[in-house]
Amino acid sequence: MSDWLKTAIFYEIYPQSFYDTNKDGIGDLPGITEKLDYIKDLGCNALWINPCFESPFFDAGYDISDYKKIAPRYGSNEDMYRLIEEAHKRSIRVLLDLVPGHTSIEHEWFKRSMKSAESKDNPYLKRYIWTETPWENFQGIEHIFGALNGICDRGSVAVNFFSTQPALNYGFANPDKEKPWQSAVDSPEARATLSDIMDVMRFWLSAGCDGFRVDMAHSLIKGDTDYSHVILLWQEIRAFLDEEFPHSVLVSEWGKPDLSLKAGFHMDFLLHFGPSHYVNLFRENPFFSGEARGDLKEFIRYYKKVCKEADGRGLICIPSGNHDMPRISHKLTPHEIKLAFVFILTVPGAPFIYYGDEIGMKYLDGIPPVEGGYERTGSRSPMQWDESPNAGFSAAAPEKLYIQTDTDENRPNVKQQSADSNSILNEVKRLINLRKDNAMLGNMPPIEFITAGEAGEPLIYSRGDGKDKAYIAINPALNAVKAKLSEAVRLVYTLGEKPIISEDGILLQPQSAVVLMGVD
Ligand code: GLC
């Protein structure tokens, strides 16, 4: 694992909505470059930028039509090279979003693959998964989301997500002999797909990017119910990277670290889908809400299990949110968001902060969907920089904005929160500094849970594997609670009212959190 990952703190940027420098109502790459000092000042030292490549934008850019070209609405390839260079000058690493599972229907590969009559030597005929007739579909085949038929004079083509996103053909785990369109994983067509995707990776890594967040990483091989084939595929990709770009980093959107880290990913996220119960932290019946008082038993059980299985192989990341789920603020008050950040910034793994969560931007429930965002659009609204029109995001007319801004006149913004020592932004900064100043709170040292995550109970855990340990206790409840923590001796951080420390333990005030240092 690259050394820089051991201290990485990520910031996810949705490029459409971060900062618009050319007044067209949509964010751009020069806008990200201009705000690098803000990101550095926040304390983050790594970026994940959502796809910014050429696309017809049926799924906000997760439907790519040219992997090697920046979409003109964000700028040019040169703008990306400059962004990377300027980020590196500030010791900020850059991960791009790799979408290996599918392209757009407008990708040249797909257009060529539609032309069945063109020639038998057309190398793209089997680059996607086409049945013999349009009446056949893919029901019951794992990792095929649906079928697109009638788009040309061929059969149905397998899709990975929306029907504008045909799945690339990496082969089937157990191809059905009766169905010749099911390629083997070692067929020439599956190998050609892999080689082209490696070429895309080579292109951007040669341009200086530090690695990729990999979209739907688990989905590449069809019918692979136990993931054994896709694990081998990623191990092969990892071996290629180790050879040519040994410092490059791969983060998977998989949500099952027990599998993805084995596959060679350095990190995986716990997500709002999958087995992790991540949603119980901040979203569904959230533990961090004083009102909801949900429990974290299942989350802790799963998290402990995967930490054990990962066993130092890589990092398990708990993001504040992302572009696919309601924002962390949806079910939490501003103070509860701070409590949540105490957790996010004191657990192992590289923290990921979704842009705008650091100021508690709202989830804009019910706003009109944009580019296939549907209800996800509410988490993708323009970053709120100051009190000027469009919250300082863009100088375009408000009706020209890609997504509308929060219309609340008290919407939070960076400028006002920078000046307020009590703001979420300043709390996040304090917590990042605390993490940086105390090695035990960093990405690598193990975690041990002291409480089991019962509803109403404080969440208490320790960090560190030596004699010295850090203890974190978070009480989201509306009442004070007692915690036994006799080993903890030195209080280094408090959020909310100060605890009362006595010989038989600590009285944690309502909705408060503490970090203590102690000896086991
Ligand atoms: C991932 C992305 C999501 C996208 C989908 C299809 O889940 O995060 O935004 O729509 O994959 O690429």
- pLDDT tens digits, residue range 26-58? 999 999 999 999 999 999 999 999 999 999 999
- Take atom 12 of ligand 1 and give the residue whose Cα is closest: 62
Mean predicted lDDT score pLDDT of the chain: 96
- pLDDT > 90: percent of the chain: 93
How many Å apart are CA 489 and CA 483, to the nearest integer? Answer: 14
- Binding site membership of 215 for ligand 1 (Cβ less than 6 Å): yes
- Please give the structure tokens belonging to residue 113: 């693959």
- Residue found under tokens 């998290």: 303
* Rounded distance from Cα 440 to ligand 1 centre (Å): 34
* Rounded distance from Cα 103 to ligand 1 centre (Å): 12
Q: What are the DSSP calls for 16-42, one per residue?
A: GGT--SSSSSS--HHHHHHTHHHHHHH
- Take atom 3 of ligand 1 and give the residue whose Cα is closest: 324
Position 365 pLDDT exceeds 90: yes
- Binding site membership of 26 for ligand 1 (Cβ less than 6 Å): no
- Binding site membership of 216 for ligand 1 (Cβ less than 6 Å): yes
Gap between the terminal Cα atoms of the chain: 29
pTM of the model: 0.98
- 353 strand-pairing partners: 11
* Rounded distance from Cα 266 to ligand 1 centre (Å): 20
Q: Tell me: the pLDDT tens digits for 264-305?
A: 999 999 999 999 999 999 999 999 999 988 999 999 999 999
Once rounded to an integer, what is the mean pLDDT over residues 7-26? 98
E strand intervals along 277-412: 315-317, 352-354
- Take atom 2 of ligand 1 and give the residue whose Cα is closest: 215
- Please give the structure tokens belonging to residue 230: 């896709």
Q: Tell me: the pLDDT tens digits for 441-478?
A: 999 999 999 999 999 899 999 999 888 899 999 999 99
- Take atom 4 of ligand 1 and give the residue whose Cα is closest: 62
- pLDDT > 70: percent of the chain: 99
How many Å apart are CA 187 and CA 182, to the nearest integer? Answer: 10
Amino acid (1-letter code) at residue 341 = F
Q: Tell me: the pLDDT tens digits for 105-163?
A: 999 999 999 997 667 789 999 999 999 999 999 999 999 999 999 999 999 999 999 99
